[in-house]
Structure 1
Amino acid sequence: MSTVFQLAHAFTARWEGCLSDHPADPGGITRYGVSLRWVQDLARQAREECRRLARACDGCAARSTPECGYYSLDLDMDGDLDADDIRACTKAQAAALFKKHFWDKLDCRNLPLPLAVTLYDGAVNMGPARAVRQLQRAMNTTGDAQLDQYTPIAEDGIMGPRTGELAEALQEAGLEFFAARQTLRLRDAFYRDLAARRPSMKVFLTGWRNRVKALAHYLAELEREN
């Protein structure tokens, strides 16, 4: 695993720890940040992709190997996906799943360090589309206010080439840490709004906001070191 990913995951892993099965958590039983709902959603997507490609399990070279989208999610290797898989999940398995489905899919390795760290942790905690939209909005706000030449990007939750180009422009102007902090402000506002709209989620609000504050401190440490 890359050094940059390790820097990002080192923070996220602090906040994704023990086994949890809180009744207000829509993700269900969770360990090291891996929730049952997320794993089952990934399995459904893997099956849909196989159907789209008209690929059957019988005769598939990837069947029962780590290359199989479904099998790689069967963490206790008993042939199904249920709460026991979450209970069996290890730190290494969680890190590998997050790298594949968040870090790699969002192409975080090509982002400036603070934006990569911020996006990755947001994707793990809130889902990738929302995390990307917050990043795009923060970069638009920063670019509009700070760059001499700036063209806004779509805030569509998709990590396309224009998003990467704006991130690079912000880095060249020395604004990558500023944009990351702007992203955290949007994330904090989202949590407060979510708790206001859905009272059952208020139980998580303090923890969410503490995580945002801790990430701001982590970014400050990285900025001093770079």
Structure 2
Amino acid sequence: MRETLTTALDLMFGHEGGYVNNPKDPGGSTKYGITHKTLAAHRGVSGVSPAEVKALTKQEATVIYQRSYWTQSGGDLLPVGIDFMTFDYGVNSGPAQAVKSLQRVIGVVADGIVGGQTLAAVKGYKGDLIGAYAAERLRFMKSLKTWSTFGRGWQKRVMNVETQARQLTQGSVLDTDVLEASAKANPIDTSITQTLKKPEAWGPLGALLTAAASLFSGSGPVQWALAVGIIVGIAVGLVSILRKRGEA
């Protein structure tokens, strides 16, 4: 077993976080990135409850990652950096898919198995393999029907994994807290455009526009002062709405 597995697992747990059960996520109840189906398969049972998933320990998750993802994605064979990238990709989309994407980048038959031909092509690759592999992974993710829901989080994850892979090749110590990015986009990660579509945002926005009109059409120090005060007050209210949507 390669020593970098320990670092890869630390980074993985930094990405995956704790228990989630997003109704928009087809994976269902998940903890440490381990879905209920993966956990059931590992335990040799037909199914597990959300409570059992929630009770999953990091120790058992480590065993699952090592047996079912690290080895199958070529973790002990591929160069440092690329090994972590295929491992992370494999957790997100399946080891076979992760390897096939790598094989497409290096120009060999995409059979999902890391063999001699794949290893030779990786070693002989001319160019920035880390960057090319990250771009291919992102291309694949954009083809998924759930991209509109989780795309923002996925893109952040791919970018972070690329950064971490480069640091691994340089033997750097990685701060997993700083580079943490979940595989599932946060459902409350709402853009300002989406927030302004909400009815509660239009009340203060309308008042803000009215005050602005008064400001530019009025003539007198009192009217100007009142208009400025209204604008400031409404602007603060709008910022408060945006902040609350980010914390909900």
The alignment's TM-score, normalised by the length of structure 1, stands at: 0.68
> In the alignment, is residue 166 of structure 1 matched against residue 116 of structure 2?
no
Please name the residue that 1:193 is paired with: 143
Structure 1 residue 24, shift from structure 2 partner = 1.4
1:11-44 CA-partner distances (Å, limit 9, x unpaired):
221111121111111111000011012233x25x
**Do the aligned partners of 1:27 and 1:38 also contact (CA within 8 Å) in 2?**
no
**In structure 1, the residue corresponding to 2:124 is in which secondary structure?**
helix
Structure 1 residue 80, shift from structure 2 partner = 6.5
- Please tell me the residue identity of whatever aligns with 2:120: E
Please name the residue that 2:50 is paired with: 83
**Do the aligned partners of 2:72 and 2:95 also contact (CA within 8 Å) in 1?**
no
**Do the aligned partners of 1:133 and 1:156 also contact (CA within 8 Å) in 2?**
yes
> In the alignment, is residue 96 of structure 1 matched against residue 46 of structure 2?
no
- Specify which structure has the bigger relative contact order, considering alpha-carbon pairs within 8 angstroms and separated by 6 or more residues: 1
Change in Cα spacing, 1:163 to 1:31, as seen in structure 2 (3 Å) is same
Please name the residue that 1:138 is paired with: 105
**Do the aligned partners of 2:73 and 2:96 also contact (CA within 8 Å) in 1?**
no
| Mean CA deviation greater in 126-135 or 161-170 | 161-170
Aligned length: 172
Structure 1 residue 179, shift from structure 2 partner = 1.3
- Aligned-residue RMSD, C-alpha: 2.3
Change in Cα spacing, 1:225 to 1:107, as seen in structure 2 (3 Å) is closer
Change in Cα spacing, 1:191 to 1:106, as seen in structure 2 (3 Å) is closer
Structure 1 residue 206, shift from structure 2 partner = 0.8
Please name the residue that 2:84 is paired with: 117
**Do the aligned partners of 1:136 and 1:155 also contact (CA within 8 Å) in 2?**
yes
Please name the residue that 1:179 is paired with: 129
> Bigger radius of gyration, 1 or 2?
2
1:45-81 CA-partner distances (Å, limit 9, x unpaired):
xxxxxxxxxxxxxxxxxxxxxxxx62xxx7xxxx963
Change in Cα spacing, 1:97 to 1:202, as seen in structure 2 (3 Å) is same
**Do the aligned partners of 2:22 and 2:28 also contact (CA within 8 Å) in 1?**
yes
**Do the aligned partners of 2:134 and 2:162 also contact (CA within 8 Å) in 1?**
yes
**Do the aligned partners of 2:69 and 2:87 also contact (CA within 8 Å) in 1?**
yes
Q: Which runs of 5+ in 2 are unaligned?
A: 173-248
Change in Cα spacing, 1:202 to 1:2, as seen in structure 2 (3 Å) is same
> In the alignment, is residue 4 of structure 1 matched against residue 12 of structure 2?
no
Please name the residue that 1:13 is paired with: 13
**Residue pairs, 1:10-89, within 5 angstroms:** 10-40=10-40, 42=41, 70=44, 81-89=48-56
